[in-house]
Amino acid sequence: MSAPILWIVLPFLTGGLILVLFGEKYSSYAGGMLSAVLALTAAFIPIDTALLIGSISLKISPAVEVFGRSFQLNTTDAPLLAMIYGISALWFFGAEASGKTFRFAPLGLIIVSLLTASIAVEPFLYAALFLAMATMLAVPMLVPLYQKPGYGTVRFIVYQIFAMPFILFSGWMLAGVEANPGNLTSTLQAGLMLSMGFAFLFGIFPLYNWIPKLLEETSPYAASFLLWAFPTFTIIFALGFLDRYTWLRNTPQISNAILSSGIIMTATAGFFGAFQRHLGRTLAYAAIAETGLLLAAISLRSVDFLSIVFLILIARGVELSTWALAISIIKQKAYLLKFSDVQGLARKYPFAVGALLFAHLSMAGFPLLGGFPSRLALWQELSSVSPAAALWIFIGLAGILVSAIRSLATLVMAEEDAKWEWNETWAQTAMLAIGTLGLILLGILPQALQPFLRGLPALFEHLAQ
C-alpha cells in the first residue's frame, strides 16, 4: 500500500461509489466515516516505516509513479493529512444535519482527494491542474439541476480556472530565474505571473466579489466548505513556492506585497461585512477577512509564523463548518437569509443561533474562542514588523465584530411574548454542540494543539528553519 493510493485514490474512488450507490443520508455517514478513518490512519500509522502487527508487516510507502511523474506523501505530510481529513469528517457528518445539501459528501470527498493530490504531485506546480479539476467538481455541489447558475458560481469557475495558466507558466519561469538569479527582468515577470495566479486563487481584493454572491445564491454549507477547502490547500501550495525558491522568500518586496494584499483583504472585508444585511454575506466577508489574515501571516519571517498559519487553518475549519451548519438550519425557516427574514429567530432556533454567534465572534478574534490565540500571536508578530499593519488588521476584525453584533441584535429581536422553542433535531443539536465546544476548547486550551502544531511546520524544511 502506498500513501498516495490511501489518501488520494481511495477517497476518490469511494466518493464516486458513494455518489452512485448511496442515498443522501447514508452518503454523509459513509463520507464522514472514511474521512475519520483516514485522519486517524495519518495520525497514528507512520508513513515509510514498517509496522509489525502480529505476524503481519505493514508499511505505507510514500510515493507512486504516474506517467513519469510522482505523487509523494512523506512522513512530514502526516499531520497535515490528519488535519485535512479530520476537519473533512466534521464537514461530512454535518452535511446530514444541515439538511438539503445536494451530493455534498461524495463530491466533497472527491474534491478533498484531488486537493490532496495537489500537495502530493511532483513537480509541485502541477498542483494548479488539480485545483482546476477540483473547481469543476465543486459546481454540481453548488448548483443542483433544478436551479439556474448565478453570477457568483460563474465567476468562481472563471477565476479559479484563470489562475491555472498563470501558475503553470510562472512555475516554468521560476526555474529559469533560479538558474539565472541576476536577470531582473525575468525575475519581475515570473513574480508578476505568480502574483496574478495567486490573486485569482485567493480572491485577493478586488477579485473576491464572487464570494458574497456565491453565499447568497447557493447552499451556504457547500459554499462554506469550498471557502475552507480551497484557501487551505492554496496556502499550502503558496508556502510550497516560498519554501522551494530562495529568492522568493528572501525578497522583502514580495513579503511586503503579500502583507499589503492581506491587510487590504482584511480591512476591506471587515468594512463591507459591517454593512451587510444577509447572514450568508456576513459569513462570506468574515471568510475573506480570514484569508487576508492568512496572507498577512505568510508574509512574516519570524520563527513562529508557520504555527500561526496552521493555528488559523485549524480554527477556520471548525468556525466555518459550525457557522455554515447553523445558517443551513436557519435557512430551512428563512430561505432568503435576509435580516428582515431572520429577525427574532433566536427564540425558535436557540442552538443554531448560539453556534452561529460563537463562530462569528471566533472569526472576529473574540477572546477565549478558537480564533483568538492565532490572532493574538499574529498581532504580536505584526506589531513588531509594522504597527500600521497591525492597526489595519484590527480595524478589519472590528468590522467583523460589528457585523456579529448586528446579527445578534437582529436574531434576538423577537416580540416580547414570543415563546422559546427548540426546533433543531437531535443530530443538528449534537453537531452544533460539537462545533461550539471545539471553538471554546481551542480558545481556552490552545496549548492542546501544540504537539500537533509542532509537526506541521516540518512540511516546509526551509521555511521552518
Which residues are near another protein by CB under 8 A? 66-69, 100, 126, 129-130, 132-133, 136-137, 139-140, 143-149, 151, 153-154, 157-158, 161-162, 164-165, 168-169, 172, 185-186, 189, 335
- Residue 157 or 337: which CB sits closer to another protein? 157
- Residue 188 or 448: which CB sits closer to another protein? 188
- Residue 218 or 282: which CB sits closer to another protein? 218
- Minimum distance, C-beta of residue 333 to another protein, in the bound complex (Å): 12
- Minimum distance, C-beta of residue 149 to another protein, in the bound complex (Å): 5
- Residue 168 or 194: which CB sits closer to another protein? 168
- Residue 44 or 151: which CB sits closer to another protein? 151
- Minimum distance, C-beta of residue 193 to another protein, in the bound complex (Å): 12
- Residue 2 or 219: which CB sits closer to another protein? 219
- Minimum distance, C-beta of residue 185 to another protein, in the bound complex (Å): 8
- Minimum distance, C-beta of residue 279 to another protein, in the bound complex (Å): 17
- Residue 65 or 461: which CB sits closer to another protein? 65
- Minimum distance, C-beta of residue 72 to another protein, in the bound complex (Å): 14
- Residue 154 or 395: which CB sits closer to another protein? 154
- Minimum distance, C-beta of residue 82 to another protein, in the bound complex (Å): 27
- Minimum distance, C-beta of residue 183 to another protein, in the bound complex (Å): 10
- Residue 155 or 375: which CB sits closer to another protein? 155
List own/partner pairs for 461-465 with CB under 8 A and 24 or more apart. 461/243, 462/243, 462/244, 462/246, 462/249, 463/239, 463/242, 463/243, 463/249, 463/305, 463/306, 464/306
SS3 assignment for the chain:
CEHHHHHHHHHHHHHHHHHHHCCHHHHHHHHHHHHHHHHHHHHHCCECCCEEECCEEECEECEEEECCEEEECCHHHHHHHHHHHHHHHHHHHHHHHHCCCCCHHHHHHHHHHHHHHHHHEECHHHHHHHHHHHHHHHHHHHCCCCCCCCHHHHHHHHHHHHHHHHHHHHHHHHHHHHHCCCCHHHHHHHHHHHHHHHHHHHCCCCCCCHHHHHHHHCCHHHHHHHHHHHHHHHHHHHHHHHHHCHHHHHCHHHHHHHHHHHHHHHHHHHHHHCCCCEHHHHHHHHHHHHHHHHHHHHHCCCCCHHHHHHHHHHHHHHHHHHHHHHHHHHHCCCCCCEHHHHCCHHHCCHHHHHHHHHHHHHHCCCCCCCCHHHHHHHHHHHHHHCHHHHHHHHHHHHHHHHHHHHHHHHHCCCCCCCCCCCCCCHHHHHHHHHHHHHHHHHHHCHHHHHHHHHHHHHHCCCCCC
- Minimum distance, C-beta of residue 199 to another protein, in the bound complex (Å): 15
